[in-house]
Each structure stands twice: as C-alpha cells, then as structure tokens.
C-alpha cells in the first residue's frame, strides 16, 4: 500500500477508528497534549515551518513580522482583489484565493520575497556585490511562468523615499538580537537605495526578516502569502457589508471602440488571419 511520507506530523489512531487521531505530534511535540496549553500561535507557526521551537527572540521577530504584514490595507493589489470578491458576494474562499493569486506576484507579492531571499543567499552581506547587481535591471526569462518585475526585488518601484512604516518596521525588527540580516540592512539601507535608485519596500524588510528566521526562499514565499491573509479577509468582509454601490467601478477608455453600429468583421479579419505551416 502506498503511504504519505512526512517529517512533520505523527499520529496515533484511536483504537476503534483508523480515521481519527488519538494523538498528534508536530516535529515530535504533542500538539493537543502540550502545545495547546503551553505554546503561542507564533511559536507553533515557527515550529511548523522550521521544525524546531523558536527562541524568545525568534518568536518576537516572527510576531513583529506577522503584525507588519497582516494588513497592507485596501490600496494593496492583493487586498483590492479580495475586496472585488467581497463586494460581489463571492465565496469567502474565493476572496482569499484572489488575494493569494494577486499577492503571489513578483511586484509587491510573495514572488518578490522569494526573489529577494535568493538575492540574499547569493550576495550575503557583501555590499559591493549588492551595489553592482542592484544596478542591473531584472531580465525577463521567457521560459518562466512568472513575469519579470521592472525593479530590483525588495525595493519600491514608485517610491519617492523609504516610507515611515517601512522604517519603523525595520528599526523595530533589526533591534532584536537574532536579526543580523535586518541589522545589516538597517546600517546599509541608504547605500542600497542609492544603488537601486529606489527606496526600500516592506517586501525587502520581510525578505531579510525571513532570512533571519532561517527560512529558505520557498518557506519565505509561503509564510509571506499566509501572513498577509488576515487583512484581505477583513476587507473582503467589510466590502460585502458595504455593497457594490459604495465600491469604485472606475472608468475605461477604449482605444478601438467600433461604436454602437458594430463593424464588418470579415473586412477586419482579413488583415489578421494567420496562415503558417
């Protein structure tokens, strides 16, 4: 019989039901017998991803990051997507799926975190290397399903200067004594921003924090997706209650409107039919 291999989860079945657990252990710890009473949600989250209990400083770092990321606000594209679900009365899951789908992207989303963490892996704290590579514009890979972002990962493509929330988050998290990457980022932010020609973004702070938590780029991408869901959820619920008449529909300017009489399709299509092979 085929089995599912796991290094995370161990169960003992109830004696009379193979489909119900008598006990569940996560990375060796008894979830309902011990963690439930003694661990915090953040400690358990760290344990799930990293396989070990966090130190107090690591738990504080993850908790701080979780607060910083929990709600990017209605202007964020992922939250906007969730609100589009809420306003029309879409299912709750679809609102979160919308937030995940949009918030996954390489511009302001989890793929940007992934890319920034890969940059950290390759460059470490070598300032000269960061400076030379930040000066190079990201290149599109035509074989990759991810469209390329037009800016270096971790920086704000339209920022004028580093925003106050980003500065506050960086200052708070980098003061913890388990955050060497954040501390280095705090010290070298100005030089990095000059090299990138752009201010540091929250995504860049998150990537450094996730690196300091010992996450791989894949783990960082997942955690970032997860940690931003609370804001998407509550804004979707709020717009559901507010109704569509109170939500912007926006204007569209069509560059090729054929007008109310339509057009002769056969005339137009003659010029665009492709015949090859």
Partner 1 sequence: MLEEHVGKLVTSMGAFFPGERAVFRGQDLHKSLQDMGWQELYLFGFTGRRFTSQQMKVFNALWNYTSYPDTRLWNNRVAALAGAARSTGTLGIAAAMGISEAQIYGWGAALRASEFLIRAKNLVDEGLNLKELVRTELKEKRGIAGYGRPLVSIDERITPLLKLVREQGLDSGPHLKLSLEVEKILLAGRWRMRMNHAAISAALAADFGLSSQEYYYFSIPAFLAGMPPCYKDAVEKPEGFLFPLPSWMLSYEGIPYRSWNANR
Query: Residues in the site for partner 1, rule: CB under 8 A?
Result: 1-13, 18-21, 25, 27-30, 34-35, 38-39, 51, 53, 91, 93-94, 97, 101, 142-145, 158, 248, 250-258, 260, 262-265, 268-269, 272-277
Q: Which residues contact 153 (CB under 8 A, 6 or more apart)?
A: 106, 112, 113, 115, 116, 119, 138, 203, 204, 207
Cβ(205)–Cβ(173) under 8 Å? yes
Cβ(80)–Cβ(109) under 8 Å? no
**In the beta sheet, which residues pair with residue 24?**
11
Nearest to partner 1 of 132, 263 (CB atom):
263
Q: How far is the CB of 188 from partner 1 (least distance, A)?
A: 27
Structure tokens belonging to residue 130: 């960061």
C-alpha 230 chain-centroid distance: 12
Q: How far is the CB of 64 from partner 1 (least distance, A)?
A: 20
Cβ(70)–Cβ(228) under 8 Å? yes
Q: Pairing between strand 17-26 and 29-30?
A: antiparallel
Residues 183, 188, 189, 192, Cα dihedral to 10°: -140
Please state, as a whole number, how many other Cβ atoms lie within 10 Å of the Cβ of residue 101.
Answer: 13
Nearest to partner 1 of 157, 191 (CB atom):
157
Cβ(27)–Cβ(47) under 8 Å? yes
Find the largest Cα–Cα distance for the chain. 75
Q: How far is the CB of 90 from partner 1 (least distance, A)?
A: 9
Nearest to partner 1 of 170, 198 (CB atom):
198
Q: How far is the CB of 226 from partner 1 (least distance, A)?
A: 16
Nearest to partner 1 of 37, 136 (CB atom):
37
Q: How far is the CB of 149 from partner 1 (least distance, A)?
A: 15
Nearest to partner 1 of 10, 118 (CB atom):
10
Q: How far is the CB of 142 from partner 1 (least distance, A)?
A: 5
Nearest to partner 1 of 87, 182 (CB atom):
87
Nearest to partner 1 of 126, 218 (CB atom):
218
Q: How far is the CB of 201 from partner 1 (least distance, A)?
A: 14
Q: How far is the CB of 110 from partner 1 (least distance, A)?
A: 14
Nearest to partner 1 of 94, 131 (CB atom):
94
In order of 29, 77, 205, 208, the CA distances from 228 in angstroms are 27, 12, 14, 17
In sequence order, what DSSP letters do the residues of 111-145 get, joined into one string? HHHHHHHHHHHHHTT-HHHHHHHHTSPP---TT-S
């Amino acid at each position: 019989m085929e089995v599912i291999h796991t290094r995370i989860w161990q169960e003992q079945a109830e004696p009379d039901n193979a489909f119900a657990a008598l006990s569940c252990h996560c990375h060796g710890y008894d979830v309902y017998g011990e963690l439930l009473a003694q661990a915090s949600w953040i400690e358990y989250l760290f344990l799930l991803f990293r396989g070990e209990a966090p130190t107090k400083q690591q738990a504080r770092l993850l908790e701080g990051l979780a607060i910083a990321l929990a709600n990017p606000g209605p202007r964020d594209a992922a939250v906007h997507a969730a609100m589009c679900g809420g306003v029309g009365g879409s299912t709750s899951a679809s609102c979160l799926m919308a937030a995940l789908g949009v918030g996954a992207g390489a511009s302001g989303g989890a793929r940007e975190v992934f890319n920034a963490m890969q940059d950290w892996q390759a460059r470490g704290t070598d300032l000269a290397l960061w400076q030379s590579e930040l000066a190079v514009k990201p290149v599109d890979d035509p074989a990759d399903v991810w469209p390329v972002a037009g800016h270096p990962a971790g920086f704000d493509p339209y920022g004028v200067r580093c925003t106050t929330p980003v500065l506050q988050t960086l200052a708070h998290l980098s003061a913890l004594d388990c955050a060497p990457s954040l501390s280095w980022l705090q010290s070298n932010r100005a030089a990095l921003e000059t090299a990138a020609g752009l201010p540091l973004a929250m995504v860049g702070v998150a990537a450094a924090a996730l690196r300091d938590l010992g996450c791989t780029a894949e783990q960082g991408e997942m955690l970032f997706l997860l940690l931003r869901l609370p804001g998407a959820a509550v804004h979707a619920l709020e717009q559901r209650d507010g109704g569509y008449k109170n939500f912007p529909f926006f204007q569209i300017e069509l560059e090729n409107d054929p007008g109310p009489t339509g057009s002769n399709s056969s005339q137009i299509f003659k010029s665009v039919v492709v015949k090859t092979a």
